[in-house]
Amino acid sequence: MDRNQVHRQVALMRQSFFDQGFLDEQFIQLEELQDEANPNFVEEVVTLYYRDSTRLILNIEQALEKSPLDFNKLDCHMHQFKGSSSSIGAKKVKSECTQFREYCKAGNGEGCMRTFQQLKKEYAILKKKLETYFQMARQAGPKEIACRPKPKLDICPDLEKNYVGWIPSRFRYTFSF
Amino acid sequence: MNRDQFPVGMRVLAVDDDPTCLLLLETLLRRCQYHVTTTNQAVKALDLLRENKNMFDLVISDVHMPDMDGFKLLEHVGLEMDLPVIMLSANGNPKLVIKGITMELAIIY
């Protein structure tokens, strides 16, 4: 496969993640933080997430083995895991986290366990997809970064390419995690 | 610092126990051309702040942390260092927001 074809494949794969609801716009925020100074940022964050989240999953698994279930503790663990998953844009995983927390509020242990199994499936599916994606992106080479327009921060609309003449009283940051 | 200019070089201390969120926060802040120091422990953050009160201009902290509640950290920072603090939370609970506001700070969630 020639390089152009690989680039096309990578772009199609990436688009499918959004179309099929695996990832949300938070992933785009990660991509916007990737630049020449930080060329592997997206892969680094995702790798860190999968490495760190194993302990969060273990915490939840251990908590689910207790009897009776401590729904407050379960909810607290899931809150952490949801926050982490949200930060990489893991849409389906995040949705399962929300469902899990609903079951915690309702004191529904069965629901929690069922949802947790589904969550782990989604988590694993996304991991596999992203591993394949990053592998292909590396094969495709640096064209991916060069093609992307220079990222802009989502702040005051008056702000152009530089920061001269910016007015603090109208300053608004939106950081979404 | 000239109040009419963007605060390039502002010294920020970022605190979050989640390493993924912390890396993301750090990178965002560096993109804003701030000087960023990170720690994943509130206790370490307090030590850093106590070591040299003039080392930072702003503290950004997560609310839910295992070693110390974010609000506790906020209390210490407010009392001892008089630095502005921004609290981050994925928790949209309005009670939490009011708690933060009565402690006179900005919350982003």
pLDDT for the residue numbered B53: 75
Do residues B45 and B13 touch, judged by C-beta distance below 8 A?
yes
pLDDT for the residue numbered A1: 65
Do residues B36 and B12 touch, judged by C-beta distance below 8 A?
yes
**B8 chain-A contacts, CB cut-off 8 A:** 163
d(Cα A86, Cα B40) in Å, to the nearest integer? 18
Asked if A175's CB is within 8 angstroms of B28's CB, the reply is yes
Edge-to-edge order in the sheet of strand B11-15:
B35-39, B11-15, B58-62, B85-88, B106-108
Range of the domain at A72: 3-152
Nearest Cα residue in chain A from B108: A175
Do residues B34 and B59 touch, judged by C-beta distance below 8 A?
no
Q: Could you read off the pLDDT of A118-174 as tens digits, one per residue?
A: 999 999 999 999 999 999 999 888 754 444 444 444 444 443 333 333 333 333 444
- Which of B5, B18, B108 is nearest residue A83 as measured by Cβ atoms? B18
Q: Is residue A176, in this structure, part of any structural domain at all?
A: no
- CATH number of the domain residue B48 falls in: 3.40.50.2300
Q: Could you read off the pLDDT of A50-103 as tens digits, one per residue?
A: 999 999 999 999 999 999 999 999 999 999 999 999 999 999 999 999 999 999
- Residue A162 near chain B (CB below 8 Å): no
Do residues B71 and B89 touch, judged by C-beta distance below 8 A?
no
Contact map slice: A 42-61 vs B, CB within 8 A: 44-45, 48-49, 52-53
- CATH number of the domain residue A62 falls in: 1.20.120.160
Residue type, B18: D
Domain count, chain B: 1
d(Cα A69, Cα A77) in Å, to the nearest integer? 13
Q: A170 vs chain B: nearest CA distance in angstroms?
A: 11
Q: Could you read off the pLDDT of A16-36 as tens digits, one per residue?
A: 999 999 999 999 999 999 999
Q: Could you read off the pLDDT of B22-81 as tens digits, one per residue?
A: 999 999 999 989 999 999 999 999 999 999 878 999 999 988 888 888 888 888 888 888
A177 half-sphere exposure, CB direction, 13 A CA radius: 27
What is the residue whose two structure tokens read 């899931």?
A78
Domain count, chain A: 1
- Which of A33, A76, A164 is nearest residue B27 as measured by Cβ atoms? A33
Q: B42 vs chain A: nearest CA distance in angstroms?
A: 16
Range of the domain at B7: 3-108
Q: B5 vs chain A: nearest CA distance in angstroms?
A: 6
- Which of A45, A164, A167 is nearest residue B24 as measured by Cβ atoms? A45
To the question of pTM greater than 0.90 for the whole model, the response is no
Nearest alpha carbon to residue B21 among A166, A119, A98, A81: A81
Q: B61 vs chain A: nearest CA distance in angstroms?
A: 13
Q: CB under 8 Å, gap of 24 or more: what pairs does A92-95 form?
A: A92/A21, A92/A22, A92/A122, A92/A125, A92/A126, A93/A119, A93/A122, A93/A123, A93/A126, A94/A24
Q: Is residue A175, in this structure, part of any structural domain at all?
A: no
Q: Is residue A11, in this structure, part of any structural domain at all?
A: yes
Q: Is residue A16, in this structure, part of any structural domain at all?
A: yes
pLDDT for the residue numbered A116: 98
